[in-house]
Amino acid sequence: MNVLRILSLLVFVGLVYLGGDLIANNAAFTNAPGALARLKVYFTLNRSWTNGGYPLPEVASRIFSGDPGKLRTNIDHAIGGFSGWRVKSRAEDRIVVRVSPSFWHRGSTIEIGLSPVPGGLRMEVSAVSDSSSADLGADRNYILNLYHAIGEENAIHPPV
């Protein structure tokens, strides 16, 4: 009987941890392509990317309009606004960011590719978890948070 209680407690704690992880990563189950497809992505992938082929539509490359120099400054400010995010290397067309591990997931490496387009910059992003197991959408969430933070920086400091 005690073994059953201990096993039940362990299952309950595991489910709470799993639910907390999915909530922390803003797992949007009601959005396209549907809950089952999203669960498959969250439980099988340990990376996210924007240059085509990623199964969730919200993770796609973005074009930010404005002066490329000012956009790069806003991108740097956006990255600096995240605790645990540190720039590992920087070039004119590429930024590599290290995300420190936290309670909910292992660390990740984010690579940001910047290419000029007429009137702005195209941003291609890939994020890879240090873990070989599924990241439950953490890397997807990093990319979406980065896009949101850049949008906020652009609203505060217009890149024109």
The overall average pLDDT reported for the chain is 86
Domain 2-156 coded CATH 3.30.310.80:
yes
| Confidence (pLDDT) at 85 | 96
Give the mean pLDDT of 123-127.
Answer: 96
pLDDT at 21 over 60: no
pLDDT at 105 over 80: no
Q: pLDDT-derived band of residue 38, with 50, 70 and 90 as boundaries?
A: confident
Angle in degrees, CA 87, 129, 90, rounded to 5: 20
| Residue labelled with tokens 């922390």 | 24
**The whole model's pTM is what?**
0.83
For the chain, the structural domain boundaries read 2-156
| Confidence (pLDDT) at 118 | 95
- CA distance linking residue 3 with residue 9, whole number of Å: 10
pLDDT at 112 over 90: yes
pLDDT at 43 over 90: no
Written as six digits, the tokens of 154 are 């652009």
